[in-house]
Amino acid sequence: MGHLGHLKAEYHELVERLDANSVGFPEPTTEKSRQGWCEILEILYTPEDAELAAKLPVLPAGLTAISKRTGIPRDALEKRLVKMAEKGLVMDIVNPKTKKAKYLLSPPVVGFFEFSLMRAKDSIPKKRMAQALDAYCHGDPTFASEVFKGDTVIGRAMVNEDALDTEQRPDILDWERATHVILEAKTIAVSICYCRHKNEHLGKCCDAPMETCLSVNMGADFVIRNKFGRQINSDEAMEIMVKSRQSGLVQIADNVQDRPSYICNCCGCCCGQLMAINEYDLDAVNPSNYLASVDGDSCSGCSRCSRSCPIGAISMTSVRQAGRRNNRLMAVVKHDRCIGCGVCTTSCTKTHAITMKQRTIRPHVPLNSIEKTLRMAMERGRLHHFIFDQGAGRGPQFLNKVVQALCTFSPVEKVLANKQLQSRFINYMLAKTKGKLPI
Domains and CATH numbers, the chain: 4-146 (1.10.10), 152-286 (no CATH), 290-358 (3.30.70.20), 369-433 (no CATH)
Is the pLDDT confidence value at 387 over 80? no
Confidence (pLDDT) at 421 = 66
| pLDDT tens digits, one per residue of 20-50 | 999 999 999 999 999 999 999 999 999 999 9
Average pLDDT over residues 103-128: 94
Is the pLDDT confidence value at 420 over 90? no
User: How many Å apart are CA 138 and CA 204, to the nearest integer?
Assistant: 14
Examine residue 110 and say whether the peptide bond preceding it is cis (omega within 30 degrees of 0).
yes
Minimal CA–CA distance to 377: which of 424, 408, 416? 416
Instruction: Please give the share of the chain, as a percent, with pLDDT higher than 90.
Output: 78
Is the pLDDT higher at 74 or at 390?
A: 74
**3-class state of residue 94 by DSSP:** strand
At residue 337, φ and ψ (nearest 5 deg) are: -115, -30
Whole-prediction pTM value?
A: 0.90
Is the pLDDT confidence value at 5 over 70? no
- Angstrom CA distances, 34 to 27, 28, 29, 143, 311, stand at 7, 5, 7, 11, 28
Average pLDDT over residues 220-228: 97
Is the pLDDT confidence value at 431 over 80? no
**3-class state of residue 165 by DSSP:** coil
| pLDDT tens digits, one per residue of 245-284 | 999 999 999 999 999 999 999 999 999 999 999 999 999 9
